Structure 1
């Protein structure tokens, strides 16, 4: 197990910590929960950088890294839905897209297909989601409208990934 993959596994432990803080009664709970979310984002950048720099990009890491991202995002959006910071329609759109990506990635991975590594569009989508989350968590005006723009962009990004996946795996046959 290399260091980038260990950092990715650490990110999985941040998910229950975020939820514990978000739903707690401690003072400044939203700031603490947001701090955990930022830590998850920072460690995502670090593990990706280390994997590329040290030539430690692995198939396992290529599958676990986006899974950690998506599960964190799902936990955050679930917490926002439960506290009525986002509507049901937005949550369904986000959950459908992310669960679809998780299921498809696992399905193709276990069939021996090569997964597509993260690209600029995927990274931009993640950054945009983090901006939307910060706006939503701190009840900023226009947050939900911005979120809908990000949701639309994320679906476009998903279609690009599917197209790249198809091209990549056709070459390998």
Structure 2
């Protein structure tokens, strides 16, 4: 187990910590909860950098890294849905896309297909989701509109990933 993969596993541990903080009665709980989200984002950047720099990119990491990201995002958006900071329709759109990507990635990985590593558009989409989370958690103006723009971009990104997935696995046949 290399350091980048350990950092990815650490992000899984941050999910219940985030949920505890978000739903707690602690003073400044939103700041603490958002801090956990930022820590998850930082470890995502660091593990990717270390994996590439030290040539430690593994199939396990390629599969676990986006899974950790998706589960964190799902947890955050479900907490926002439960606390009524986002609409049911925004929650459904996000959950359908992310669960579909998780299940699809796991299904094809288990069938011996190669998964597609994150690309620049996927990273931009993730960054914009973080901005949307900030706007939503602190109930800032235009948060809902911004979120819908990011949701639309995320579906475009998913279509691109599907195309890349098809191309990478056709070459292997």
Normalising by structure 1, report the TM-score. 1.00
Distance 1:112 1:8 in 2: 22
Q: Give 1:79's aligned residue.
A: 79
Structure 2 residue 123 is the aligned partner of structure 1 residue 133: no
Distance 1:132 1:4 in 2: 27
Distance 2:71 2:103 in 1: 12
1:9 deviation in Å? 0.1
Q: Deviations along 1:89-139, whole A, 9 cap, x unmatched? A: 000000000000000000000000011110001100100000000000000
Q: Following superposition of structure 1 onto structure 2, how do residues 19-168 of structure 1 map, counting pairs within 5 Å?
A: 19-168=19-168
Distance 1:121 1:4 in 2: 22
Alignment RMSD (CA, Å)? 0.3
1:159 deviation in Å? 0.3
Provide structure 1 residue ranges, at least 5 long, that are not aligned to the other structure: none
1:37 deviation in Å? 0.4
1:148 deviation in Å? 0.2
Q: Give 2:172's aligned residue.
A: 172
Alignment partner of 2:56: what SS? Answer: coil
Q: Runs (4+) of structure 1 moved beyond 4 Å?
A: none
Distance 2:65 2:158 in 1: 16
1:59 deviation in Å? 0.2
Provide structure 2 residue ranges, at least 5 long, that are not aligned to the other structure: none
Distance 2:70 2:144 in 1: 19
Number of aligned residue pairs: give it.
173
Distance 1:130 1:19 in 2: 16
Structure 2 residue 8 is the aligned partner of structure 1 residue 8: yes
